Structure 1
């Protein structure tokens, strides 16, 4: 494939739809810094599937969208499209048939990313699959951006192996292996799950087997219970009917008794009603007399209560008058005390007012003295602070100089120790051993030669072994196929033999034959054979006689006392001549010509049976020749149609003997074929075993060769590591000597400088110490003056505060006396009011006492007492009449209750019998309904009851059966269905387990095959790239040497180390190279990979930046040669590199933030220049 065009829209600074043509093999991209040239590299990397924003110089994937500028708004979609020319059909997969392939990626601002190939929506993986193994990809070696040169050359060994894998084209192998491993992992998981299910299912089958047996027994017991239950229902229905009839007769008898007792009860109730009316009237008279008595008693109680109330009120009023007198005396005494207290508080208030005036005058005098003391105190404070600040600065300077002095002393001490240590190390440095290094290089070269020879032999062996294994697989498959064929034939023969054996000994008459000692005798069809195609003809003629029993002599039949139960023919096996032959019609053949007797003794009997039987070709020939038949002769076609002179019988295979002759002939043919195939199988097995022995021998040789190669690899690797170690040691010793000399000179300079610093610090320390001492003495005097001023100020403040406290106490005393005066005045006024109220209350109570008199109420009480005696006599007479009526009523009531008590048991008995009758009827109906619902045969049940079956015994039997059912425990009624389903599932799982096991073996074999192919490809690629690197490095540097080393023994997971030594340098590590040397080394490595597996195109982003003009010229020459196989799109600011391009694309940014393309054709420009000249 060749890149034709790059289309961008909305990607970074290419906001407008931009078409970048790539017409030639060398296309240069130029423009000022910041114009968006590198965005083209990012766009190609992005469309090839890059998902890391970091590798696209962004923070998030949305950073590839144009984010707006001063004059433009942000866009919501970015699109990049690569158009390839595929006229040679080198694209992978289904796209190889397209002459032009378009790969496009589209990103929306909401994060939705889409990929398209020829405008067909595809997955990111589909895009990656097209470029697998081509060197193209989001992070492949064909796109070298800014900073990637240093990352390539300084990459870890494991990262360098990725470039080698891409060059070897094993990316697709790794992808296939990863997919295979995923499938293998899934298969193993599925296999483990299936195995777990199978084990669980085995347990379940064992459990279900037991449950199924229990369920079967349960169903049998349930059926037995159902039959017994039907018989029990029928017996109880009969018993319920008899019980119902008996209770009906009992109800009729009890009803007559109930009617007689009811008539006697009605007479007692009538007499009881008359007596109740008399009792009601007597009761009314008692109630009236009792009401009058209650009214008199109530009046007496009212009058007694009034007299008692007057007496109680009089005592209460006398008590209140005494209490009020006591309160009036206490109030008058309190009034006198309050008047005395008021005089005292008024005198106290006058004294407090005089003290307040004195204190106010003193406070004014003391406050006037405070400003003078405060001014003296502030002056001493200012002087003290100034001296403290000056002393602090001097002390701080002194401490700084002391620190400098200590630091200088410590540095001088450390430098002295370091100086002595470096001199000691300089004297103990070893001399480089160049002879040992040269000898080691010779050993490496010898081992490398021997390793190459052994690897070639190992490759040949590994190439031959798969062929031998494939041949063995083919031979083993041939043996298996032959065995399967023989097995199928033997199964066919066995089936035919069993069918023949069934015909010989499987009929109903076999018992009779065995009883007469004929079971060992052969049958007729076993002793004859018929030509192919004539079986139906012979079967039609002989019919059941084909299965005739052979005997040595028919005389044995005379001993048989009974005839066989069916048709049976017996044939005598005895030598002799056949009878005369019947005349043969024209165009017919005797049937005997097509029959062969294995036992000659059967020939006479067979000749008799087939006498006069002739074979014709078809139905038409039979119809034409039947007139020529002699009496008793017949014609038969191959299809079995029989002709006599006057009849035609159509043949149909209605007998079980049909096909017995053809089957017998097929058995004989197949036996011969089995013998031949067995011989072929033995030969194939011998060849396969011989091939297997050869493979074992070859594998042993291969293993020994691998061990030898592995040993050489270990030795080679150890020698290389030792060589690198000696080289690094030599360089390290040289560099260390130079470093020690430089460090000693540097230490001498540092010690001289630190000595000067120490002297300066000592002088400054003494000066600042004297200044601090002077400030300390002045500060001591100032502090003493400040303390005195502070004491005087505090004393004056205390005097003023004391005067204020005395004033506060005088004011408080005046306010307290004033409050007390007001309080005493309120108390005097309240006492006067209380005395006046008490005097008024006392007068009121004395007036109420005079009004309380009980004499009128005593007269009314005596009158009411005399009236109560009269009314009590009337009430006693009414009560006597009522008691007489109640006695008569009680007597009649007892008579009624006796009659009613007789009715109750009768009614209860009737109800009881009715309930029993109803219960019997319901039971009868219920049992009848249960029998109808169960579909029971009542006639059979009635016969069973006539034999003496009783319901009690039936219930006991049911209880016994139910107890047996309960003893079964929990029964899984679906166990039989579940068992069958589990067995089907077990069969399916067994087949699935076998399939998964086979699939896992296939996948493991595939992984081993992929690893083998990948290892071979990687090793071959490594050797070729190493060779190209060794030649291309000197071409770029004008000399020197470079090579690649494997960091491990297994090439599939080891890293790659780059060893590069430019001309005249013996550096031990590539990290010691300069930036330009690293860039050239990386280019040599990348171009070495290109030479092995040229990518369709290569993009270089300012990779020539660290190169000078001379190296840039070499770089351009190399790129020009590589351009014969791949396109190169490079970004550069170097004029020499620009001259290399066939086409130049200019990138400008005239509008801020927006990139545009300007194309320049160098050849056309040169022609215009020549024409102008």
Structure 2
């Protein structure tokens, strides 16, 4: 086992969490660093966890251990040491064990493997792993070596004794001596007690003789008292028997009168209940009448509103129909006008086209003739223009080329015009088809819209029927709900009255148990009270209820566990008292009952389910019900069972009679239970009907919703049709507008093409003339024929101009007429037609008609509901009048019963007074008899002596009793417990003598143990001295080659000796003598050595002590600081040999140790916080050299300053 890792945070100079970047080696580990960097604090951190040095820390000490520096204050700190546990020296099944100590200003916690542990547990594990408390030198701090060099011989002896465990043996011996002293004290105390008890026993022997004489006289006195009490008992019994006969007669008379009173009261109670019921019915009828009047007014108001709404909808329907008819008429007229205007346009278009064609022909002829004339005139003038035929031909060629290009461009434009005209004609055809198709579809949509209107009206009628059915179902359901409320009130009233018959503690507890069972879902294990599961005929109810009493409210549980839970629930919450009967523990036992007329087992009159039978048997199984009180007494006297009369008078099996007058109003528990049972049955039946109502309402509602959805679907279809019709109207409008636009464009294209054709003809004619002119070989001007042609062309042009003007005027007239008709058609007639079609498509009289029909249906339904409300109001008024008459009759009957009750009660009161007088005297005699019975039970006397006393007269008995009492006066101070005390003290004396023997044995054992402890302590010290001396010689020879060292024990009265002689009391100290040369005559003591030599001796002693009980690892803090170089090398070799079996962690400033180190670590500071890193041996050596350089520089600086 060795230290693998150390984690520090917040401890002294280590602010941030500091972790070794490389685990410690299991061999030699050297920690280096500059002064003040935190080496010693790192060493202190390990001690903080593993050493007992920081075991108990005060608050100021803990605060001093926390890091103090710039920045945020550190409130907590911890140090965690991770130990390698691969050898399982610590009994934990892990290869490494983490021990963390966490401190704050107010806390100090230990964690083992991340779990909280106590300091004792931690140090117990460490001690078991080899960290002996008696060997403190596995951790060697700064100054420890110097402390050893300064020790005296006596201090050195004390150290070795401590290491040997002498302190432990001394503690054990002290404990044994203390036990020995306590044992002696106990022995002396026991001997004193034995002496006292022996004296008390002598005194008690005399007191026993006086006690026996006193007891004889008391026995005689008790016999005499018993005889006198027996005389009194017999006299009281005779008087009781006489009074019993009188009581029987008086009781019979009183019972007859009370029966009469009870009968009258029962009838009065029934009349009272009937009156209350009638009053409740009248109150409910009054409330119902008020509700019906309110409903009537509400229905009338609804009817009035429905009528007004129907009138308004009818008016709107008529106005809408009139507007719709007008729109349809306007639409038909507009269509007729559009059709006539279109026919007129179509009729005039051929005339206009013919006139336009004639005009264009004349214009073309005129333009061709004019072009030919201009060409002839140009030819005529070229003679003066050109000087040669070649010049003329060149000019003509240019003109021909230019004119040819213009003709080609004109022909291309004609082709483009033809293509545009073809497209416009196709668009006209398509627009015509679209307009025709749209109008045909529009007509079909109008037919569909009418059909949908019929379907919507049909759905409205069906919805009205469903609404009426739903109203009737809700009306029936509301009536059923009112009946349910009445039944629930009746059940609640009966339950409250039944709860009122229970004691408060029982009522609260039983209610709590039943409520708890319902909350816990234990209704199948907690079954309610006995009363809720039994039925009794009215004849036997008084007897059953009187006999059972509060047992009727026993709660039934199916098993023990449920019963225990229920009782615990009541007890924990202090809810009162409850009896829970576990049925699993009961068995139905059968008893033999007498077979007699008028006698019946009480259990047979109680009807119940079989699983309740054991509980019923437990309550009523040992009793019978009798028809008379005489039968009850006979059965109880001869058969030893309880008997009860039909009136509730009870005779116990021991002869005790209870009963008397019972108010019939008290026997209501079974009646109320029966009423609750009947009302609950009716309630359950009514509740079972509610789902039927709900199902029917749901069915009708679903049908109504389906019809609503269907009607909404039809409305959506109608809206969709209207949207389609509007779309079709827009499409037709767009198509007709497109048709008109294309017609205009075609006309424009044809006119433009005509101009191009004229231009082409003119150009072709001009080019023909120019070619003919170019073919001529002279510049002589016009020929005779050309002259004549020029003259003819001039005349033709003038004639064509006159014809063209006439044709143009005729064309303008025709075009103006056609344009006027087209303008009226396109700008007025068609837009108006489209507007009317949109209005007709967007509005429909069907909705208005539907609303009007629906308003009429609502009015009819409201009229029917109003009539029904009036009918119910009349019936309820008649019922209220009838109930008033019945209440009057009932009040009169109650008054008659009250008078009769008063008369019977007075007679019964007189009989009761007579019976009370008899019972009072009988009770007095019974009390006297009971007192005598009690007195006789307390007097124990021999039957023979009592019989002798009965022969004496009463005076003689009294005289003899007085004499006995006088003699007993002399024994007032006798010790009544003399015999008992004598026996007790005898037993105590025996016990004390046994205890004295045990104490003496223990005392001898303790003395023997003390001797063994002294011997073991002496042996342990001697053995430790021998081992340490041997180890010291070996270690010193390793540290100082050729040197010799040894330990000498100095004793009182003797010289120094090296042997471990017996006896520790005469030891004065341990002296160290060493020779660095190995010569016997050169041995020196510690005060004769130099500082370095003392350090070598001290270190040798430290390693000798360590070898006494090797530890898993050693911590050495700068132990080589005062050694010379040669000794440091020897120390490094010694540490290397030690590291083969135990881990060594050492801080140093010397390079010799580095050469033997397995791993090196550097401590440094950054931002005033310490850190530690693993470094190579070379880096560590460089750091040490730098440290030496700095130290030398500081020394030189100090010398210069000095």
Do Structure 1 and Structure 2 share a fold, with TM-score over 0.5? no
In which range does the TM-score fall when normalised by the shorter chain?
0.3 to 0.5
Give the TM-score taking structure 2 as reference length: 0.33
